Structure 1
Amino acid sequence: MSSFSGAAPASGSLSLSQFRTFALASLGGALEFYDFVIFAFLAKLIAAHFFPASQAEWLRQAEAFGLFGAGYLARPLGGLVMAHFGDVSGRKKVFTFSVLLMAVPTLLMGLLPGYEMLGVGAPLILLALRIMQGAAIGGEAPGGWVFVSEHVPPGRAGLATGLLTGGLTGGILLGSVVILALHAALPPDVVAAWGWRVPFILGGVFGLGAMVLRRWLDETPVFREMHVRAETASSLPAKILLRDHRRAVLCSMMTTWTLTAAIVVLVLMMPPLMQTLHHVSPSETMLASLAATLCLTLSVVVIGGLTDHLPLRLLGVLCGLALAVGAFGLYGLSPLFPHTLVWWAALSGVCCGFVALVPAGMLRAFPAMVRFSGLSLSYNVSYAIFGGLTPAIISALTPQTPLAPAIYVTATALIGGIALWFSPARD
């Protein structure tokens, strides 16, 4: 692994087996994130099926989004448990199990009877399935970053994690495309009656297929070497982290805060904010969201590859500035030029390349013995806190100024850049 202050030159070509590893890891990650986000896209229809019809529509929708939020709350615990076994028993087993833990609940969501048949049991079962999904997603991103980075030659970890991150964000893009195709293929009343179940069933089936394919992956060379040398964690990895690696955990949590701000504010919250603040049509905001997500997916691959060649500190400064530019362009300049939102959204997606620096910095901050647990603890706890608080903060600040989203993203970019600068680095 290259040092923090300067990037090691890339060495060693990637084999066909390593590209296969990236493909299978990225495919599984994309399907997991697809399974996780389609719940949000279909929340209104889910609310109509799983909560009493006697309740007000706004209350049912609020309850459905509450179930969506429960998935975020389950991420830290699920991620820590899976990371513990990943550091002690092996990366491959946990990496394969996380897809299974996501695919089964997703498939069951598509088949689960509604409130009319199960009564109060319907939302309770849905809550349990959502918690299982949250636990799965808590292990997927950290596990994937560790898995692919330990499968590549020195100086290629940035490209590997960039490709995987592109797969994860591609899952959000896939979810958007499937929902658009669903509404284009079926009449609204059919979608409301049973069509909404199709994306869940598709995600569950393909997720099970991805789990089977992941069984063909090999354990990482780094873990095999640690196992031979008996260097795997002999006590709780979380205990080692909090005793010996507090600085790495803190810096990693701060960079993850920047990651959540970039994705939540510039991609996920952008459609409702633009509709509310500037009265942009829903169709235009949905197209803009697709453009932003596509450009984000491409950007993280490119920036991830650059971390193998350029100092991470330098990239932190440049990408932090770019993130601020993208945020102010999207929320400050796009309203001044009607019908250009798609282009500004695409630019903001490109400027979200900072997201690729987060796993690169975390992988360099933790030793192999507790690497999985270090990434999982930092990433999931930070995402649970700031992923949950960011929408509330933005909602509270936007009445004061329509530039609040851009100001918030810029502030987190500064925090993330400082955290990257002071994050420890290991060879």
Structure 2
Amino acid sequence: MLEFYDFITYSFFAIEIGHTFFPAQSEYGSLMLSLATFGAGFVTRPIGGVVLGIFSDRVGRRPAMLLSFALMGAAILTIALTPSYAAIGVAAPIVVIAARMVQGFALGGEVGPTTAYLIEIASPRRRGVVVAWQPASQEIAATTGALVGVILSSVMSPEMLQTYGWRLAFLIGAVCLPFGLWMRRTLPETISHGERAAGSAESSSHVALARRHVRVIVLALMILASGTISTYVTQYMTTYAKTTLHVSSSLAFTVSLVSNGLQIIGAVFGGWLADRFGRKPIMFWPQLVVLVLTYPAFLWIVQAPGAWSLLFGFGILSFIGSLPFTAFYAAFTEALPQNIRGGVFATIYAVAIATFGGTAQLVVTWLLHVTGDPLAPSWYLLLAATVGLIAMGLMPETAPVKVGER
């Protein structure tokens, strides 16, 4: 949660960060430069996924998690404390982009080891609800970031928020870093010394075993592409509500707060359902509902952009859309052998996130700009939901309740 808070908070304050580090002749130009820097954090995520994911398989989950957290801490402090473009010129955006790429490397190596860790500490018939805390922690981070945004936008003027308010939001995450490092140092390791040694000796095992799981890996890539587009378009709704629907900053942050809060509930509930009814039903049917509801929800929001339409429209999509991906996290990790689990999951996750998550907000902003149609985000979400639905229908069932594992 702490690590994702540091990464996601950037998107909530993309406008203010754009004004601070990327002055341009137009609001659109400044926002696009800011979002491009947000995307720069995704470029290094596959590298972090490969390096730290394989590191976790060979050395251990805990060392990999500690390293990724320390790197994220250094990067968030750098962004929060870097002077503005007006103060130090072109050095400011260069430093911010570099820090953002370090963040991406750290987060790329975060998800694989932690998801593998959760699978390995859970009893077989509780894996879904335990692994649910991986996506749920991401939504807790987004909810916390939105809550901070609501508070800051309520007590600060727009000028104060742009000057130093967004920096306070970043520093709140930095304050928690010592606690996070201490907490991870106390975790028991889930890979024995013998397993780590075997993994180091058999350097080709990752490639050989990964080839045997090509079908699952391809389907996982499609599902993650769908999920990350949905996630980062949802995170963009704060900016969308302010710039396209022209609602107040406090309402825009409140919508994000409610949507992300519902996704926390949905993620854990989805894991609970996946343990009882299997992974595939909980992946497929909620995803189908999201596909059906996306366009009508956006149509309602655009035609009547008020508090109720925004809260209910985005809230319903967020809750239902969070159900399938907890089941997927469990299914994908269960389908992978332990000695390649951290590296493969981290790499596939990071590649999908880098390719589709890093570009999602840029694509939506560009679509809105060139079409002038406020419904443009729904087009991209419909395409993503369709791809995800097809892949979820083809994903193998791995739940113990279905396959008879004891």
| TM tier relative to shorter chain | 0.7 to 0.9
2:312 corresponds to? 343
What CA deviation, in whole Å up to 9, does each residue of 1:216-237 have, x standing for no partner? 00111xx228628835672156
1:50 corresponds to? 21
- In 2, the alpha carbon distance for the partners of 1:98 and 1:209 equals 15
- In 1, the alpha carbon distance for the partners of 2:186 and 2:169 equals 26
- In 2, the alpha carbon distance for the partners of 1:186 and 1:237 equals 55
User: Which residue of the other structure, out of 159, 184, 197, is the alignment partner of 1:214?
Assistant: 184
Identity of aligned residues (%): 27
- In 2, the alpha carbon distance for the partners of 1:200 and 1:276 equals 22
* Alignment pair present for 1:420 and 2:392: yes
The number of aligned residues is 393
User: What residue identity is the alignment partner of 1:46?
Assistant: I
* Alignment pair present for 1:247 and 2:215: yes
User: What residue identity is the alignment partner of 2:319?
Assistant: V
User: What residue identity is the alignment partner of 1:122?
Assistant: A
1:133 corresponds to? 103
Deviating above 6 A after TM superposition, structure 1's stretches of 4 or more consecutive aligned residues are: none
User: What residue identity is the alignment partner of 1:256?
Assistant: L
Secondary structure of 2:264's aligned partner? helix
2:229 corresponds to? 261
User: What residue identity is the alignment partner of 1:367?
Assistant: P
User: What residue identity is the alignment partner of 1:253?
Assistant: L
Give yes or no for contact 1:162–1:303 (8 Å, CA) kept in 2: yes
2:401 corresponds to? none
What CA deviation, in whole Å up to 9, does each residue of 1:370-404 have, x standing for no partner? 11111112111111112234445545666397655
Give yes or no for contact 2:50–2:346 (8 Å, CA) kept in 1: yes
- In 2, the alpha carbon distance for the partners of 1:304 and 1:217 equals 23
* Deviating more after overlay: 178-187 vs 329-338: 329-338
- Higher helix fraction (1 or 2): 2
Shift of 1:204: 1.4
Cα RMSD over matched residues? 2.8
- In 2, the alpha carbon distance for the partners of 1:325 and 1:196 equals 37
Cα 1:231–1:252 shift into 2, 3 Å: same
* Alignment pair present for 1:151 and 2:118: no
Shift of 1:120: 2.8
Give yes or no for contact 1:252–1:361 (8 Å, CA) kept in 2: no
What CA deviation, in whole Å up to 9, does each residue of 1:4-55 have, x standing for no partner? xxxxxxxxxxxxxxxxxxxxxxxxxx1111111222223333334435x6x5
Report the TM-score, using the length of structure 2 for normalisation: 0.86
- In 2, the alpha carbon distance for the partners of 1:226 and 1:328 equals 53
Shift of 1:192: 3.4
1:18 corresponds to? none
Give yes or no for contact 2:48–2:109 (8 Å, CA) kept in 1: yes
**Any residues of structure 2 matched to 1:152-301 within 5 Å, and which?**
152-220=122-190, 223-224=191-192, 227=195, 230=198, 234-236=202-204, 239-240=207-208, 242-265=210-233, 267-273=234-240, 282-301=249-268
Cα 1:141–1:294 shift into 2, 3 Å: same
Give yes or no for contact 1:107–1:205 (8 Å, CA) kept in 2: no
- In 1, the alpha carbon distance for the partners of 2:153 and 2:196 equals 54
- In 2, the alpha carbon distance for the partners of 1:169 and 1:154 equals 24
Report the TM-score, using the length of structure 1 for normalisation: 0.82
* Deviating more after overlay: 385-394 vs 175-184: 385-394
Give yes or no for contact 2:46–2:350 (8 Å, CA) kept in 1: yes
1:303 corresponds to? 270
Cα 1:279–1:207 shift into 2, 3 Å: same
Give yes or no for contact 2:302–2:375 (8 Å, CA) kept in 1: no
Structure 1 runs not aligned, ≥5 long: 1-29
